[in-house]
Chains A and B, each alone.
Chain A
Amino acid sequence: MNVTEHLPILQVVLPLASAPLAVLLRDRLAAFVLVLAATWAAFAISVLLWLQVGESGLISYAIGSWPPPWGIEYRVDALASLVLMLVSGIAAVVLPYSRASIEREIRPDKHYLFYAMFALCLSGLLGITVTGDAFNLFVFLEISSLSSYAMIALGKDRRSLVAAYQYLIMGTIGATFIVIGVGLLYIKTGTLNLADLGVRLQAMTSHRPVLAALAFLTVGISLKLAMFPLHQWLPNAYAYAPSAVSAFLAATATKVSVYALLRFYFSVFGETAVFQRLPMEDLMLVLALAGMFVASTVAIFQDNLKRLFAYSSVAQIGYSVLGISFDSVTGLTATIVHLVNHAVTKGGLFLLLGAVIAGMGGVTLARVQGVGRVMPLTSFGIVICGLSLIGVPGTAGFVSKWYLILAALEKGQWWLVFLIVLSSLLAVAYVWRFVEVAYFHAPRADLAGAREAPLALALPAWTLVAATLWFGVDTSLTVGSASRAAGQLLGIAP
């Protein structure tokens, strides 16, 4: 028996098993070490899987040796391996950060519970990505969602409770819609295996229950990925959650949902059914553009930086959805590249905001006045991430924007090109609100003594900032994997 054969299941099981153990240990240091080991192991496994997929193309793993479609299949292709690596990589960076961060934000006797929730959330997100079974996907979705509701509720501000409650209501409605969609597909085909569904549905894509399933799945997943106008839960949830949680969720949760949407659209229903027989292309285009513009505009008028960048996330999700709506290799490449780039950028940004909270006690614009002077490194990092959101060359955001524009040009839609660049100018507006407050105001008298963030916070944050810059310069990993994944989704590349 060879361990490398079982990597797909180990990927999920290690964090999953560490969660109850962490609860049993009831000690924050032991829980931290345990979860950290599991998280780093998960990251290492995801890298190994990525390498394996690069060689063999596709890994199919039958759980309990029940062959698919009867048993649950874990399936890792180019896209899944990239998302696995992204999610576990972000977790591997955020977790060490969280130790120093929750010290300031969560009561010490609850720390071990936080680590348990974190491990559960991670395993849920990894499970969604790795599984090849529709119902299994729902279960993992709920695992990750339930743990993230709990983590958001741990926030210091009492509004985090209401935010978590709202997210719970919206998220559960979304998940229920997903189960309804999956149920309808199951009734029609008698299978839950995604690949098998994909084969069997080809003959019945115009049947009404299948169309209903598509509708339910689209709405359900859109709720989870905060596609405009189903994004209302997101700003408060990100704004009032503990810093580490904001960073982790902003960088992974919506990204995995985008992954689920791609999976259902391209692997299950097939691009002909979704885009050629139905006007999904136009629908998604309009929603994406509306999200890009409305959310960016709302972001400009926010006074709390975490809320500001949460709205920016909604806008950036619009870019990803826009890429899907092009229904072309370049468009999907843009979506997937943006998935990674935005995750890294926003993750870094929220980590840095957490460092600002640690130093200045809050992230309202009134409070962070002059942060450029008292915390020069941290605010410089925020500026770099902001530039990436704008899409300045040399940062990761530029690469995604390049592919989006290219995809729009391939379709010959010049007006769309201008709308894309116009919306990035809105990003200039909200990023520069921070820049002006941070650099042109004197710090508030009571905060002038604030000091630069400790290394435990700065190091993980700067890891992601460095990744933001790195992915803006060396794109072989992101673009290479993304274009291969896009080819696979559209059935062009093997």
Chain B
Amino acid sequence: MSADDMLILAALALPGAGSVAILLCGRWPKLRETATLSTATLLLLCVLALLPTVLAGGRPGVRLFELLPGLEIAFRLEPLGMLFALVASALWIVNSLYSIGYMRANHEEHQTRFYVCFALAITAAIGIAFAANMFTLFVFYELLTLITYPLVTHHGTHQARAGGRTYLGVLIGTSMLFLLPALVFTWHVAGTTDFTPGGILGDRLSGFALAGLLALYMFGIGKAALMPFHRWLPAAMVAPTPVSALLHAVAVVKAGVFSVLKVIIYIFGAETLAAEASTDWLLLVAGFTIIGASLVALNADNLKRRLAYSTISQLAYVVLAAAILAPLSLVGAALHIATHAVGKITLFFAAGAIYTAAHKTEVSQLDGIGRRMPWTMAAFTVGALSLIGIPPAAGFISKWFIMSGAMGAGQWAIVVVLLASTLLTAGYISCPSYIELSFSRAAGRRTRARPR
């Protein structure tokens, strides 16, 4: 077994081992938090150590065991998965630092459970990132849903339970109802579910069958939150802010769009799909989701709800970019996973900081918040810029790629959708009641709150 194989296994095992350590240290908060942070750091180092090999073109892989004849749990690294693993492991550190502060400041209960589930969720995310076949990805995908359920319902209140029901119902529902049949069907048709460049379906399917299978996959991956299966994301907003960050930036929705990319590139193959006109509906659905979610966000008063719908819209960017099927837009899609993750986590942290320091949750209550929490709101502004796609923020780069891909493919309607959504994004993220007023002098004279 080579060093790379060991590193892959280590990356997979680390968060799990970390969760055990956290569980054991449950009585001593400081020790527990140290365990979280050190596991996160080790994981990032592990992933970074694997990076050079992958960048040099290496594709190290490990086969663990065969679950059913011909279906195995196996892992293989490739650039896209590497990107996702990097995002997840890097943001885990940031998120852990933030959650320590947040959970303490808000006197949350069951903190040990929180950290354990968090670490396990990262295991699932790494498993998804490194999966060598759709089957492995599916297993970890389901695992991620179940592990995040206690996080979403962390408060255990009536509201949290209702949110948890929607969360679980939509995610398990879509994955059982659509993704599992799609997976079995893929295996039935192709005899394998391995991720292979160029796809594994070849010319075995065409027309209605291909479009149908694509629909099963796209709606089956409920974590990508394509409308009409997006309800779980706003519902999960009952969770503490670090969990929202986990859902929106670190692991969950990213796992969704990552799976979408994987399926389009390695199961169908971009060329197979491009040659098939019957799969164009995906562009429509993604475009509709972008605009629709932005409009809902524009009207949402609750800050976290607004951010949630913004995520739905931004995720649809990735799906849309993937559906354009041009090489440039695929790059854009992959990049957007990372840029949106960084941007959105900033926004959520800022929202959490506002809640912790000022106990404000509604946008309409935020008058003058910029005066009281200038640093927080500065960070929020940077995140917002990235979300809109204004240079030099990172969001600009991914949007640039997506746009060029769309233009190159001659999809002018998509360009219009992208432009319109940029305007809408600018509208909901920086609308007057928000950043501008939040710096207003009059309101800022109220009691000062220290940003955390």
Instruction: Using CB atoms and an 8 Å cutoff, list the residues of chain A in contact with chain B.
Output: 387, 390-394, 399, 401-402, 405-406, 409-410, 414, 417-418, 421-422, 424-425, 428, 432, 436, 439-440, 473-475, 479
Is the CB–CB distance between B184 and A402 below 8 Å? yes
On whether A405 and B168 interact (CB within 8 A), knowing A387-B146, A425-B176, A474-B65, the answer reads no
* Residue B153 CB within 8 A of the other chain: yes
A98 to B153, CA, bound (A): 37
Name the contact of B68 in the complex, choosing from A422, A436, A479 (C-beta under 8 A): A479
CA distance A422 to B178 in the complex (A): 10
Given contacts A393-B139, A421-B177, A425-B176, could you give 10 more A-B pairs where the C-beta distance is less than 8 Å? A392-B146, A393-B138, A406-B187, A406-B188, A410-B188, A425-B172, A425-B173, A428-B168, A436-B161, A473-B67
Q: Counting CB contacts under 8 A, is B228 at the interface?
A: no
State in angstroms the CA–CA spacing of A405 and B169 once bound together.
Answer: 21
- How far, in whole Å, are A424 and B179 apart by their CA atoms in the complex? 14
Name the prevailing secondary structure of the A interface residues: helix
Known contacts being A410-B188, A422-B177, A425-B172, is A394 close to B156, with CB within 8 Å?
no
B165 and A394 form a contact (CB under 8 A) = no
Which residue of chain B has the shortest Cβ distance to A428 in the bound complex? B172
Within B290-311, the residues touching A (CB, 8 Å) are: none
Distance of B282 from chain A, by nearest CB (Å): 20
For B146, what are the chain A residues with a Cβ–Cβ distance below 8 Å? 387, 392
A402 touches B161 (CB 8 A): no
For the complex of A and B, 5 pairs with smallest distance between CB atoms: A393-B139, A405-B184, A417-B181, A421-B176, A409-B188
19 contacts between A and B (CB under 8 A): A392-B146, A393-B138, A394-B139, A394-B143, A401-B180, A405-B180, A406-B188, A409-B181, A409-B188, A417-B181, A418-B177, A421-B176, A421-B177, A421-B180, A424-B176, A428-B176, A439-B156, A440-B161, A474-B67
A367 vs chain B, min Cβ distance (A): 19
Query: Shortest beta-carbon distance, A387 to chain B, in Å?
Result: 7
Query: Is B391 among interface residues, defined by CB-CB distance under 8 A?
Result: no
Chain A residues lying within 8 Å of B392, measured Cβ to Cβ, are none
Chain A residues with CB under 8 A of B181: 405, 409, 414, 417-418, 421
A391 contacts B168, CB within 8 Å?
Answer: no
Indicate if B57 sits at the interface (CB-CB under 8 A). no
A-side contacts of B143, CB under 8 Å: 393-394
CA distance A414 to B184 in the complex (A): 11
Q: Is the CB of B156 within 8 A of A440?
A: yes
Q: Does A428 lie within 8 Å of B169, measured CB to CB? A: yes
Question: Do most interface residues of chain B lie in helix, strand or loop, or is the interface mixed?
Answer: helix
In the complex, A298→B441 CA distance in Å? Answer: 62
Q: Which of A391, A406, A440 has the most CB of B within 10 A?
A: A440
Say whether, besides A393-B138, A393-B142, A394-B143, A473 and B65 are in contact (CB < 8 Å): yes
Q: What is the total number of residues of chain B having a CB less than 8 Å from a CB of chain A?
A: 27
B209 → chain A, closest Cβ, in Å?
10
B52 sits at the interface (CB 8 A): no
Identify which of residues 186-219 in chain B touch chain A, using a CB-to-CB cut-off of 8 Å: 187-188
Asked if B185 is an interface residue, CB under 8 A from chain A, the answer is yes
Asked whether A409 and B65 contact (CB < 8 A) given A392-B146, A436-B161, A440-B156, the answer is no
**What is the chain A residue whose CB lies nearest that of B185?**
A409
Q: How close is B12's CB to chain A, nearest CB, in angstroms?
A: 14
In the complex, how many angstroms separate the beta carbon of A414 from the nearest chain B beta carbon? 8
Cβ of A422 to closest chain B Cβ, rounded Å:
7
Does B69 sit within 8 A of A, measured CB to CB? yes
| In the bound complex, CA of A440 to CA of B153 (Å) | 9
Q: Within the complex, what minimum Cβ distance (angstroms) separates A174 from chain B? A: 34
Closest to B173 in A: A425
When distances are taken between beta carbons in the complex, the residues of chain A under 8 Å from B165 are 432
| Cβ contacts under 8 Å, A391 to chain B | 176
- Whose C-beta in chain A lies nearest to the C-beta of B184? A405
Chain A nearest CB from B27 CB (Å) reads 16
Bound Cα distance A298, B259 (Å): 36
In the complex, which of the residues B142, B184, B185 has the most CB atoms of chain A within 10 Å of its own CB atom?
Answer: B184
A422 cross-chain contacts in B, Cβ below 8 A:
177
- Least Cβ–Cβ distance between A81 and chain B, in angstroms: 20
